[in-house]
Amino acid sequence: MFVTERHQKIRQMILEYKRVDVSNLSRLFSVSEVTIRKDLEQLEKEGFLVRTHGGAILNEGSLPLESSISTADPDLLLKKQKIGDVLEKIISNNELIFLGAGSTCAEVSRKLVTKNELAVITNNINAIVILSENPNITLITTGGNATRKNSSIALTGSETIEFLKGKYVDKAIVSADGISYLNGFSLQNDIIAQAYTLVFNQANEKIVCATSDKFNKNAYSSFSPIDGIDTLITDASAPDDYLKYFFDHNIRVFNAYDIEDI
């Protein structure tokens, strides 16, 4: 069993039993206690659990963020984490960015926690909880009503759009529900889609983070034509024809590979 599989199983156990034991886990997975401790350390960094003497307990405060991610495809989570790794290298300290809603943007914000003097304007409540860990990051929320989809909470409404008018940013980072040639980058929530269109016109660099399952899908409302972005960060399974299209149109594509455990 590989590291990531073990992590996933530990997450599931914690959700079910609310606590785990180092010696039990070590016996269960046939690995040393040192290995288990390392696993727990990593999961604690992700905010999933809190280590105790001899084991770990669920981090109650993080529950809304984690429940859908852990029961969903563990591969998807990994892909979002890799996207976050790439984004972390693209963003410098001292930048003003807009971060969009959704689980992908929340997951990538985990990797941005270490950036000092970053200023983030966002409507992504989950991301705010994560980024608030670092007091050196300036967090600004847009206005709007809090709405929840699965485990993602976002601010949406006409106030959101009003707030964003005239706010210029270095980089706008959003995700998409659908990516297709005809419909461009699209989102189910049309109000948030309008907000993205607005922010894109006010950003130096337009970045979309999306896992490869979004390709060739059409969501309700398009917020950008297919060639209207500067950078796309996706995973290794992105379709070849899209890669070709973006390269020919001078759009940078990062399809993040995960080479650990090969």
Partner 1 sequence: MEPARVLKVEEVCKNFDDIACLSNVSFELRQGEILGIVGGNASSKTTLIKAISGARTIEKGKISVIDQQGNEVVIRNTADARSNGIAVLHEDAMIYNHFSVAENIYFGAYSKANVSRGCVIHWGNIYKMAEKLCNDFGFKIDVRQSAATLSIAEKQIIALLHVLVLDTRILLIDEAFSALGAYDTEKVLQIIKKLNGTGVSVIFLSQSPEHISNIIDSVIMIHKGEVGRKIERTDADFQTKLEEFNKFLNSSPFPKLEVSKGRVLMECSGLCYKHILKNISFKVRRGEILGIVGMAGSGRTTLARLLCGDLHASGGSIYMGGDSIHMKTPVDARKNKICAILDDREQYGIIPAFSLSDNLLFPNYHSNQGKGPSFFIGKKAFTSHARTAIDKLAIKCTNPSQGIGELSAGNQQKVLVARGFIAKAELFIFDEPTRGLDNAGKIQIYNLLNEISMSGRCAIFITSDISEAIGMCDHILVLREGTLVGDWSRSNMSGTNIHENLYEAAKESMI
Would you count residue 236 as binding partner 1 (CB under 8 A)?
Answer: yes
Phi, psi of 227 (to 5 degrees): -100, 20
Span near partner 1 by CB under 8 A; candidates 25-33, 134-142, 215-223, 232-240: 232-240
Smallest distance, Å, CB 54 to partner 1? 28
The answer to whether 226 and 181 are in contact (CB under 8 A) is: yes
Measure Cα distances from 7 to 107, 113, 140, 215, 235 in Å.
16, 21, 33, 28, 20
Span near partner 1 by CB under 8 A; candidates 20-28, 39-47, 216-224, 248-256: 248-256
# binding residues, partner 1 (CB under 8 A): 29
Span near partner 1 by CB under 8 A; candidates 130-138, 168-176, 194-202, 253-261: 253-261
∠ CA 113-119-120, nearest 5°, is 75
Q: Which of 61, 90, 177, 196 binds partner 1 (CB under 8 A)?
A: 90
Q: Which amino acid is at 178?
A: G
Would you count residue 95 as binding partner 1 (CB under 8 A)?
Answer: no
- Contacting residues for 162 by C-beta, under 8 A, at least 6 apart: 143
The overall longest dimension of the chain from CA atoms, in Å, is 58
Q: Is the CB of 16 or the CB of 261 nearer to partner 1?
A: 261
The C-alpha atoms of residue 105 and residue 176 are separated, in whole angstroms, by: 10
Would you count residue 30 as binding partner 1 (CB under 8 A)?
Answer: no
The C-alpha atoms of residue 157 and residue 142 are separated, in whole angstroms, by: 10
| Six token digits for residue 254 | 């990062």
Would you count residue 224 as binding partner 1 (CB under 8 A)?
Answer: no
Smallest distance, Å, CB 147 to partner 1? 34
Q: Which of 160, 175, 211, 255 binds partner 1 (CB under 8 A)?
A: 255
Rg (CA), the chain: 19
Q: Is the CB of 21 or the CB of 88 nearer to partner 1?
A: 88
Span near partner 1 by CB under 8 A; candidates 40-48, 131-139, 147-155, 233-241: 233-241
Would you count residue 243 as binding partner 1 (CB under 8 A)?
Answer: yes
Give SS3 for 55: strand
Would you count residue 252 as binding partner 1 (CB under 8 A)?
Answer: yes
Would you count residue 256 as binding partner 1 (CB under 8 A)?
Answer: yes
The closest of 130, 112, 87, 89 to 234, measured between CA atoms, is: 87
Q: Which residues bind partner 1 (CB under 8 A)?
A: 2, 85-86, 89-90, 230, 236-237, 240-241, 243-244, 246-262
